[in-house]
Chain A
Amino acid sequence: METIGADIVLQILQEEGVEAIFGYPGGNSLPLHDRLLGSPVRHYLTRHEQAAAHAADGYARATGRVGVCLSTSGPGATNLVTGIATAHMDSSPIVALTCQVNTSLMGRDAFQETDIIGITLPITKHSYLVHDVNNLATILRQSFKLARSGRPGPVLVDMPRDILAARCERAAPRQETPEATVEQSPSDRQQLEKIARALNQSERPVIIMGGGVKLSNSCDLMLGLIEKGGIPFTTTMMGVGSITSGNGYDLGFIGTHGNQLANSIVHQSDFILAVGMRFSDRSTSLIDEFAPLATIAQIDIDPTSIGKNVKVAFPFVGEIRETISALVKLVERKERTPWMERIQQERETTDNCLPYKGCGKAGHFISLVQDAMPRETIAISDVGLNQIWTMRTWKARTPRSLITSGGMGTMGFSVPAAMGAKIGAPDRSVVAICGDGGFYMNIQELATISYYNIPVKIIVLNNGHLGMVRQLQDLFYESRFSTVDLGTHVDLVTVAKGFGIPARRISVDDSPEAALAAMAGAEGPYMLEVMVDPNDYVFPIIPPGHPNISMIHGKIC
């Protein structure tokens, strides 16, 4: 067979170490899907392109490698959009390969033509339209490099069908160019010294970690910094699980649905060291009243994240791992007895006042799920009450073991992302924890899971409602419940079994040990439906428009 553009795509995928991709074929992807036959690159046929994008994202988050999804032109490409946006918001490295109509047809409203580059401009790090088959290899190599470098994120490559079918030479082997190492400049060193001095002098410091800590594989260094300096820490939702050992400095996570202790302590702090986070509205609530006493130092690889939302006294743009390893040498151990005593006192009076830290029966159930599963298990939450219950309850014990759609808040993320995570990390157990609403949103992927026998476990916390919206309506809209009733009339166990997946239903009030043992012991996929009371909410919560210290613990009557 003569070499064509499609072969170049597969050549570069292999060169990049991609063993599995997630996709869906169509007319304009024919040349590429044809050459997949006989290629060592495994192609998982999802049942919807959105799931392919989430699977690539889950693969990337579980492994740290670049995930790849593939679609045809037009509707195939637009179906990827939510998945690409999800990856973009959480800085997850994926390469989205879209096929395009022939170059001669472009701009003519051809069948299944869409300007996917234009559509995805704000949700990609960068995108390429391939005009010449001879540029294909360079563009693909550049795409992988861009996706994983700096602040990671999605890159889209749009490939017209005639380019994929065009004859060409196999790409010359990659020129190995050593990654440029940036020497720390004298001004950088001075700035780090300033940060260290301010931190050392502070009486009430706190560290806030975002998703960047995990992305840069800096969890161990952060733990070293925390323990050397004796500094209490909190995380954003994306940062949950950065520190896998309970060491007494953990305050929980900040923000709307975070821990009261974390929000309160950050509010009282006089110095914040923010690492790999952007002070999003979910973390800060009312920005003008956020941490009014604190001087802020912020470290991030992305200059646009620094000072994006808050005034920063000590900005530092740099690779987090390198920066923290330099900073940790400058930080002194300091006894801050009054501060630590105040924290201990609040720890005893706030978080522990509610059963399962305000996550109700479902939260307790999730802790039992974790007990039943192996230590290395990756938990992937969906979005809604299930997300907060999971993020507050699941104790990350190993790196990359807690995955969620934090920024975009994409319902329907968990099941396809779990497929991708399991394929990327076959040696680890993977459990998706979703609500009934999110489960319905990508329910077709049960067919993918059973077809390939991907052994993921799915927990559906079924309260028959869009629970989080219901909670907000209950609390802030005078219990006027509008369009949140999904009903419990669908027999999800039969549905799952119809897809070929063993399933069981229990109530959150039942003793779940036997069901959890059956799920954990199942060799293949398994679905466990857990009936939950729709009045089982998540508390405390910050009402909209209120500062972080205004958490409420129940309905305001």
Chain B
Amino acid sequence: MSIEERTITILVKNEPGVLSRVAGVFSGRGYNIKTLCVAETTNPEISRITLTSNADADFTEKIKKQLDKLVDVVDVLDYTGERFLKREMMLIGLRITPDRYAELLQAVNTFGCRIIGMQPDYYIIETSGRRSENDAVFKYFQTFDVEMMNRTGSIALPRHPQKYSA
């Protein structure tokens, strides 16, 4: 079976140690978590973990069963594939000299980014989109003097809510 990036979203009880238990299901079987996002849902007692890992479909099925067994796990959904929209966010901090202001602003507008932090010699730029888009944006901004970068893992939702609730 082919190895591809799988996206799994897990609804869990918002309790200490839950993330360790979920991560342990992956690490105990030698799988690496590639990206990870955790936040409360509209119900503060429930958190949503969205993670990606390189694996085949058989692995996803097995991991889903293992996760379902955890007492604190409420639901596990496979969000892999084109039926789901995925987005990531990226913050890029870069040093800038006045001679390149115009060029930078043009790039920000072209890519649909936002400048969220601004000092005379240092900007922080926010961008979000598919991972490949963010990669391309970052590649361009690397023509500037990038000081640091921080990016999130994927968050995802199904395109059709009626078919994939939760």
Chain A positions near chain B (C-beta within 8 angstroms)? 117-118, 121-122, 125-126, 129, 146, 302-304, 307-308
Contacts and interface: CB of A to CB of B under 8 A. Distances in A.
Nearest to B28: A122
B16 A146 contact: no
Given A121-B24, A122-B28, A304 B17 contact: no
Given A121-B24, A122-B24, A303 B17 contact: no
A132 to B, nearest CB: 13
A308 B69 CA distance: 14
A304 B21 CA distance: 16
Given A303-B68, A304-B62, A308-B62, 4 more contacts: A117-B17, A122-B24, A307-B61, A307-B62
B83 interface: no
B21 A121 contact: yes
Nearest to B63: A304
B71 interface: yes
B24 to A, nearest CB: 5
Contacts of B165: none
Contacts of A126: 70-71
Contacts of B20: 118, 121
A129 B72 CA distance: 14
Interface in B1-56: 16-17, 20-21, 24, 28
Contacts of B130: none
A304 B66 contact: yes
A304 B69 contact: yes
B69 A302 contact: yes
Contacts of A302: 69
B16 A304 contact: no
Contacts of B16: 129
Nearest to A118: B20
A308 B66 CA distance: 10
Nearest to B67: A304
23 contacts: A117-B17, A118-B17, A118-B20, A121-B17, A121-B20, A121-B21, A121-B24, A122-B28, A125-B71, A126-B70, A126-B71, A129-B16, A129-B17, A146-B71, A302-B69, A303-B65, A303-B68, A304-B62, A304-B65, A304-B66, A304-B69, A307-B61, A308-B62
Contacts of B69: 302-304
The 5 closest A-B pairs by CB, nearest first: A126-B71, A304-B65, A303-B65, A121-B24, A304-B66
Contacts of A307: 61-62
A302 B20 CA distance: 22
Interface in B56-109: 61-62, 65-66, 68-71
B95 to A, nearest CB: 39
Contacts of B68: 303
A303 B62 CA distance: 9
Nearest to B70: A126
Contacts of B17: 117-118, 121, 129
Interface in B111-149: none
A121 B69 CA distance: 13
Contacts of B62: 304, 307-308
Which residue, of A117, A129, A304, A307, has the highest number of chain B Cβ atoms within 10 A?
A: A304
A307 B66 CA distance: 12
Contacts of B28: 122
A309 to B, nearest CB: 10
Contacts of B71: 125-126, 146
Contacts of A118: 17, 20
Contacts of A308: 62
Nearest to B66: A304
Nearest to A303: B65
A118 B62 CA distance: 23
A302 B70 CA distance: 12
B23 to A, nearest CB: 9
A118 B68 CA distance: 20
B31 to A, nearest CB: 14
Nearest to A306: B65
